[in-house]
């Protein structure tokens, strides 16, 4: 399966890979793993939604944000790997949800990213270990931030 073709089949396209906005890199390869820095979408200054889940942002809107962040992370992976075909599998996904204190649907929000990765990469490469964490705030008041660890094919 060609990953870029699968993305097109799903009616999606990869956004431009973002650059770092501080003193860090967007990804590091170490011991056959690509660690990607957290991402909230293609351009944090121009997202469709801002705010907290359970207040300004619905679960469905949060899922959309999570999927957008995952797609942007694939773009970042391509930048670091040269080709998405080097993805052996998604090992771990960590999702941070900007939410009000009594919000409890973090896993449902982060499912937006998990489901998209499985649709694109298939169950074998896309299924992953995961954490979904609620936070008091996120940079730029974005609703969701995702980071992933990818096993790289040698």
**C-alpha angle 122/113/119, rounded to 5°?**
20
Backbone phi and psi for residue 6, each to the nearest 5 degrees, phi listed first: -65, -40
Q: Which fold is adopted by the domain 3-11+34-152?
A: 60s Ribosomal Protein L30; Chain: A; (3.30.1330)
**What residue ranges do the domains of the chain occupy?**
3-11+34-152
Helix residue ranges per DSSP H, 10-91 = 59-81
Taking the C-alpha atoms of residue 131 and residue 19, their distance in angstroms, rounded to an integer, is: 25
Give tens-digit pLDDT for 1-37. Answer: 699 999 999 999 999 998 887 899 999 999 999 999 9
Give tens-digit pLDDT for 71-93. Answer: 999 999 999 999 999 999 999 99
Kindly report whether the global pTM for this prediction surpasses the value 0.85. Answer: yes
Which among 35, 28, 31, 7 has a CA at the least distance from the CA of 146?
35
Res 46: pLDDT:
82
**Strands of 33-36's sheet in order across:** 27-30, 33-36, 144-152, 87-98, 129-135
């Amino acid at each position: 399966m060609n990953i870029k073709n699968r993305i097109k089949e799903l009616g999606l396209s990869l956004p431009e890979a973002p650059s770092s906005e501080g003193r860090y890199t967007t990804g590091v390869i170490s011991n056959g793993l690509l660690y990607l820095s957290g991402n909230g979408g293609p351009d944090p200054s121009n997202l469709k939604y801002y705010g907290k889940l359970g207040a300004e942002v619905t679960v469905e809107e949060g899922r959309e944000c999570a999927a957008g962040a995952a797609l942007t992370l694939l773009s970042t992976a391509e930048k670091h790997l040269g080709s998405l075909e080097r993805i052996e599998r998604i090992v771990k996904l960590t999702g941070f949800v900007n939410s009000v204190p009594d919000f409890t649907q973090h896993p449902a929000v982060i499912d937006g990213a998990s489901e998209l990765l499985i649709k694109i990469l298939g169950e074998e490469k896309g299924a992953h270990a995961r954490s979904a964490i609620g936070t008091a705030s996120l940079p730029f008041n974005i609703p969701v931030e995702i980071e992933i660890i990818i096993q790289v094919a040698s």
